[in-house]
């Protein structure tokens, strides 16, 4: 069983809809990372969380350390949000390499 | 500002041929460097990481190897490619903090 599970695996939404992507993990972590992978393959960092909530534009990320769960929300979704969203966790104790462990991603398609 | 380069962007190689993928980072010194592979339909898998020149740690056994000949250069190699080596290879760097920055990736197809 993967230590990081994401749901749903695939998601199709109409433009303007509110979207939620979930990430659950089964290990102790020191940080959680939400990444966005574009169709060409390039990956960009969206958020790094260790507690609470962060907001950037239409994106909101929350984490509940006790429940080992994080959510990524997209408000007023747009076709340009179509991408694969990946959750990654940094396990504790973090060794010198700071390796992340990744979920398999959620493929989001926003239809105009 | 820091940038990370990978080349080539795409590569088609026959089974049994050698492989060399290169990653370089600009604008920072002594970064932690990482090689990941993303196989079709699967999540990112850490292959190697390096915390300094000549220091390589391997996460999974395989026919791949990595080297760090210079501070900001990370090379992924194979002497003989397998079909199962096909995938999308990503290099990333960090400064020891939690955030990692990814390169554009190399799409490798082994035929």
Tens-level pLDDT at each residue, chain A (112 residues): 678 999 999 999 999 999 999 999 998 888 899 999 988 788 888 999 989 999 999 999 999 999 999 999 999 999 999 999 999 998 776 555 667 888 989 999 999 9
Give A-chain residues touching B45 at CB under 8 angstroms: 102
Cα gap A12→A78, rounded to integer Å: 11
pLDDT of residue A30: 84
Residue A5 class from Cβ within 10 Å (0-12 exposed, 13-18 middle, 19+ buried)? middle
Give B-chain residues touching A99 at CB under 8 angstroms: 34, 46, 49, 59
pLDDT of residue A96: 54
Contact B102 A90 (CB under 8 A): no
Q: Decide if A86 contacts A102 (C-beta within 8 A).
A: yes
- Please tell me if residue A96 touches chain B, with a CB cutoff of 8 Å: yes
pLDDT of residue B99: 79
Q: Quick check: B69 pLDDT over 70?
A: yes
pLDDT of residue B97: 66
- Please tell me if residue A100 touches chain B, with a CB cutoff of 8 Å: yes
Closest Cα to residue A32, out of B33, B99, B95? B99
Contact B43 A30 (CB under 8 A): no
Give A-chain residues touching B43 at CB under 8 angstroms: 2, 4, 86, 102-105
pLDDT of residue A95: 59
Q: Quick check: B61 pLDDT over 70?
A: no
The SS3 call for residue B23 is strand
Mean pLDDT of B91-106: 85
B75 versus A94: which is more confidently predicted? B75
How near does any CA of chain B get to the CA of A62, in Å? Answer: 17
Q: Which two tokens stand for residue B16?
A: 């049994």
Give A-chain residues touching B86 at CB under 8 angstroms: none
Q: Tens digit of pLDDT for each residue in B3-58?
A: 999 999 999 999 999 999 999 999 999 999 999 998 877 788 889 989 899 899 88
């Amino acid at each position: 069983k993967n230590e990081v599970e994401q749901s749903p695996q695939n998601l199709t939404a109409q433009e303007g809809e509110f979207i939620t992507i979930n990430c659950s993990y089964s290990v102790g972590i020191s940080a959680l990372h939400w990444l966005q992978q574009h169709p060409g393959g390039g990956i960009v960092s969206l958020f790094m969380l260790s507690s609470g909530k962060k907001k950037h534009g239409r994106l909101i990320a929350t984490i509940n350390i006790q429940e080992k769960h994080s959510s990524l929300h997209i408000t007023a979704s747009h076709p340009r949000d179509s991408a694969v969203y990946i959750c990654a966790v940094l396990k504790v104790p973090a060794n010198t390499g700071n390796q992340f462990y990744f979920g398999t991603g959620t493929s989001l398609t926003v239809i105009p | 500002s820091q940038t990370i380069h990978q080349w080539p962007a795409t590569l088609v190689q026959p089974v049994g041929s050698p492989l060399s993928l290169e990653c370089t980072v600009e604008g920072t010194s002594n970064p932690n460097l990482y090689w990941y592979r993303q196989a079709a339909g699967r999540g990112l898998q850490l292959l190697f990481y390096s915390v300094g020149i000549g220091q390589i740690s391997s996460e999974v056994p395989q026919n791949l190897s990595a080297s760090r000949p210079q501070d900001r250069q990370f090379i992924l190699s194979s002497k003989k490619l397998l079909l199962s080596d096909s995938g999308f290879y990503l290099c990333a760097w960090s400064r020891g903090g939690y955030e990692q920055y990814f390169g554009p990736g190399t799409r490798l197809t082994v035929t």
